[in-house]
């Protein structure tokens, strides 16, 4: 069994970006600028946004963090998005999800200029991705593809089972894995909460992508020998023995599943860092298009 080390792969991507940004500076060109909007003070969202801002610093991007109270009226948030759309210095806009219940996430995502939608959630980008056209690919599935590429995991002709069909992970993941590309060219089965024979399907999988948000859901009896397992799940479970007061759990029961796998991602240190690396890559591309 080998570890799909997301920290290592993400570092390689960030190192490359850092060199490219330094080159832009030498040439007197524009430096990438990511603007992140954080609404409220959800602990997990705070952590994710802080990690994204830190990654910007690491690679030499400019970053702006815009914070709003949880009760901000929807219209104010939309105004801010519009302002960032119109700011020629901003290359990428991300609105950290989830948003408070009174704000319709769809409206906010739709308001972002597709050319600055570095999270890749805008319908224009999703549509382009579906057709295999250049687009911003959602950061988490994009990061997983970069991870498979980095470790040269063979995907062609394999049966991939994606558990979860969300717009930000499961669905785009299934499209990317089935696309005519490398990595890609998988035969894909996409599962959800109404799938009846999930265990049997997983047992047929050469590649499992677990993205359902249920800690340790995928157990050893669901995985065939030699499978590649990508664990997207991140759930915070209370743990009073830790300083933070919680521990992170993936959707895969790592200790029992890992011995059966050819490759497996850890949690933390697998998909998480790759999501951020993919976001950095998207922001760089957005800036380069302007340059
Ligand atoms: P969602 O809650 O939006 O989607 C979960 C999906 O899993 C749904 O499609 C749901 O089915 C399906 N599902 C739920 N229970 C079952 C079940 N028992 N059997 C089969 N399918 C099931 O979650 P996200 O896609 O946003 O996130 C999934 C996980 O990934 C979460 O833990 C999240 O924190 C994590 N995540 C991690 C990221 C990273 O960078 N590592 C980035 C983004 C997310 P249905 O559609 O029928 O309800």
Cβ-proximal residues to 106 (8 Å cutoff; 6+ apart), any chain: none
Look at residue 91 and tell me if it is in a domain: yes
Q: What is the pLDDT of residue 291?
A: 74
CB 273 within 8 A of CB 233: no
- pLDDT digits over 233-282, tens only? 999 999 999 988 999 999 999 999 999 999 999 999 999 999 999 999 99
Q: How many domains does the chain have?
A: 2
Look at residue 240 and tell me if it is in a domain: yes
Look at residue 256 and tell me if it is in a domain: yes
Backbone angles phi, psi at 273, to 5 degrees: -60, -30
CB 227 within 8 A of CB 260: yes
**Residue 197, number of CB atoms within 10 A of its CB:** 10
Q: Would you please indicate which residues are annotated as catalytic (active-site) residues? A: 52, 96, 119
Ligand 1 centroid distance, CA of 211 (Å): 5
Residue ending a domain, among 113, 148, 173, is: 113
**What is the spatial distance between Cα 259 and Cα 252, in angstroms, rounded to a whole number?**
13
Closest ligand 1 atom to residue 194 Cα is 47
Residue 39 sits in a domain whose CATH number is 3.40.50.10860
Look at residue 22 and tell me if it is in a domain: no
Q: Which residues pair with 63 in a beta bridge?
A: 34
User: pTM for the whole thing?
Assistant: 0.97
Instruction: Supply the DSSP symbol for 221.
Output: G
| Sign, CA torsion 192/198/203/204 | negative
Q: What angle do CA 199, 232, 94 make, to 5 degrees?
A: 145
Give yes or no for residue 169 CB within 6 A of ligand 1: yes
Ligand 1 centroid distance, CA of 154 (Å): 25
Residues 35 and 77 in one domain: yes
Q: Can you list the residues of the chain whose pLDDT is less than 70?
A: none
Give yes or no for residue 235 CB within 6 A of ligand 1: yes
Q: How would you class 227 by CB atoms within 10 Å of its CB: exposed for 0-12, middle for 13-18, buried for 19 or more?
A: buried
**What is the spatial distance between Cα 24 and Cα 62, in angstroms, rounded to a whole number?**
13
Give yes or no for residue 41 CB within 6 A of ligand 1: no
Residues 267 and 157 in one domain: yes
What percent of the residues of the chain are helix, what percent strand, and what percent coil, each to the nearest 5? 45, 20, 40
Choose one of 232, 250, 270 to mutate for the ligand 1 pocket test, by most ligand atoms within 8 angstroms of C-beta: 232
Residue 244 sits in a domain whose CATH number is 3.40.50.720
The residue range of the domain holding 228 is: 139-272
Q: What is the pLDDT of residue 4?
A: 98
Residues 105 and 146 in one domain: no
Residue 188 tokens read as: 């894909």
Residue 49 tokens read as: 């946004």
Ligand 1 centroid distance, CA of 246 (Å): 20
Ligand 1 centroid distance, CA of 249 (Å): 13
Closest ligand 1 atom to residue 217 Cα is 18
Choose one of 48, 97, 211, 267 to mutate for the ligand 1 pocket test, by most ligand atoms within 8 angstroms of C-beta: 211
Give yes or no for residue 272 CB within 6 A of ligand 1: yes
Give yes or no for residue 270 CB within 6 A of ligand 1: no
* CA 203 to centroid of chain Cα atoms: 25
Q: What is the pLDDT of residue 116?
A: 98
Residues 50 and 173 in one domain: no
Helix pair angle (271-290, 139-150), 10° resolution: 100
Ligand 1 centroid distance, CA of 32 (Å): 31
**Residue 52, number of CB atoms within 10 A of its CB:** 24
Per-residue CA distances from 167 to 106, 119, 174, 175, 244 (Å): 11, 12, 11, 11, 30
Task: Tell me if residue 209 falls in helix, strand or coil.
Answer: strand
Look at residue 280 and tell me if it is in a domain: no
Q: What angle do CA 133, 139, 143 make, to 5 degrees?
A: 95
Give yes or no for residue 152 CB within 6 A of ligand 1: no
């Amino acid at each position: 069994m080998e570890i799909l080390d997301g920290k290592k792969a993400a570092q390689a991507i960030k190192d490359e970006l850092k060199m490219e940004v330094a080159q832009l500076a030498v040439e007197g060109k524009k430096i990438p600028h990511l603007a992140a909007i954080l609404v409220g003070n959800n602990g997990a969202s705070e952590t994710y946004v802080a990690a994204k801002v830190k990654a910007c610093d690491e690679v030499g991007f400019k970053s702006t963090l815009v914070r709003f109270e949880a009760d901000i009226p929807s219209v104010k948030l939309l105004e801010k998005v519009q302002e960032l759309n119109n700011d020629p210095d901003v290359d990428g806009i991300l609105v950290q999800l989830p948003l408070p219940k009174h704000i319709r996430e769809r409206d906010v995502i739709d308001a972002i200029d597709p050319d600055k939608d570095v999270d890749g959630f805008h319908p224009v980008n999703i549509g382009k991705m579906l057709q295999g056209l250049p687009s911003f690919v959602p950061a988490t599935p994009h990061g997983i593809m970069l991870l498979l590429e980095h470790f040269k995991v063979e995907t062609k002709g394999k049966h991939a089972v994606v558990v979860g069909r969300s717009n930000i992970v499961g669905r785009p993941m299934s499209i990317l894995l089935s696309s005519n590309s490398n990595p890609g060219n998988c035969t894909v089965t996409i599962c959800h909460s109404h799938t009846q024979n999930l265990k049997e399907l997983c047992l047929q999988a050469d590649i499992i992508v677990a993205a359902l948000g249920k800690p340790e859901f995928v157990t050893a009896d669901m995985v065939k020998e030699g499978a590649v397992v990508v664990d997207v799940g991140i759930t915070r479970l209370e743990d009073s023995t830790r300083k933070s007061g919680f521990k992170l759990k993936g959707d895969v029961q790592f200790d029992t599943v890992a011995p059966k796998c050819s490759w497996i991602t850890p949690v933390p240190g697998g998909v998480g860092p790759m999501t951020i690396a993919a976001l950095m890559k998207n922001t760089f591309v957005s800036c380069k298009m302007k340059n």
